[in-house]
Amino acid sequence: MSKTIAVIPGDGIGPEIMTATLRVLDALDCGLTYDFVDAGMVAFEKHGELLPQSTLDVIGKHKVALKGPLTTPIGDGFTSINVTLRRHFDLYANVRPAISFPGTKSRYENIDIITVRENTEGAYRSEGQTLSADGEIAESVARNTRTGSTRIVRYAFELAVKKGRKKVTAVHKANILKTSSGLFLNVAREIAKEYPQIEFNEMIVDNTCMQLVMKPEQFDVIVTTNLFGDILSDLCAGLVGGLGLAPGDNIGTTAAIFEAVHGSAPDIAGKGIANPCALLLAAADMLDHLDMVAKGDQLRQAIRATMTDDRASVTPDIGGKGSTDSFADAIVKHVKG
């Protein structure tokens, strides 16, 4: 099978980790071809826009994109590129796996949690933002809908079924946010009845944070609203060693964008020591999405084998003495057997 995907190398360390990732994908012989497009500061310098229409057109054409980290300049007039992409393509499901890997600097072992975050509604729509003339009162509307809540909860349950997961936990704050969070919780309860084979649990967000730290093994799939999902998915990444091992999948009905969750790390750009794992794991999720599940599993196993057997080849952030290239070379070796 041949498939063309859009590729956004990104800013900072983005081009380095993207080059490494594509080298590994080529070694997997996935039949992928790449249509390279720009976004972020690279695009701004070339085209005067952070997100050119031509880039949106290419993503829309191929319906799948692999994206490196992007930089949105700080200051008035600049909207988050990631938020813009999610809204433009209605990428309503943000899926963030947190899985333990050997040799990482983490406090836990055997973590395997998937956070499914609603990606388009809630506090991040930032509707009705106002600041009083005296600067004393700031307001913003958080809006959840039954449609948005329904599709994200159903996505989480379908994902649990597809991946053989046993439990879905709906995280909320309905005891205080009785309308916005209450709507989400009521929808979750309704949909859970359609999946009797999956254990359903509901948990208030603050208790969830405590339980994740105390007994993370009790969680399997977490589904929640936008702001809570943003926070909890980073907390889960911390359980397994940080954002260097955190892929992010942004899924809609007509397009999907797979990315490294971490930032562009300009302080280490060009030094050749950036960890490509987050983008590689995102690429593995992309292969699953493209119905190349065996290839995705092969990639994850090669990463795990490298981190177990080739410690000298891995990057310094996870305890090695290697470089981005040596890490990728070792993974390619394991891919090829």
Q: How far is CA 128 from CA 66, 179, 229, in A?
A: 33, 17, 22
Selected catalytic residue, list 230, 288, 310, 317: 230
- The 3-8 sheet, strands edge to edge: 32-36, 3-8, 64-67, 256-260, 247-251, 93-99, 112-118, 221-224, 167-172, 199-204
From the list 104, 129, 137, 127, the residue with the least C-alpha distance to 304 is: 104
Report the distance separating Cα 214 and Cα 312, nearest Å: 32
Selected catalytic residue, list 11, 67, 92, 124: 124
Selected catalytic residue, list 112, 234, 325, 333: 234
The answer to whether 124 is a known catalytic residue is yes
AA identity, residue 259 = E
The answer to whether 234 is a known catalytic residue is yes
The answer to whether 195 is a known catalytic residue is no
Selected catalytic residue, list 57, 206, 291, 309: 206
Where b means 16+ CB within 10 Å and e means fewer, 250-281 reads bbbeebbbbbbbbebbeebbeeebbbbbbbbb
Selected catalytic residue, list 173, 288, 295, 317: 173
The answer to whether 34 is a known catalytic residue is no
**Active-site residue set:** 124, 173, 206, 230, 234
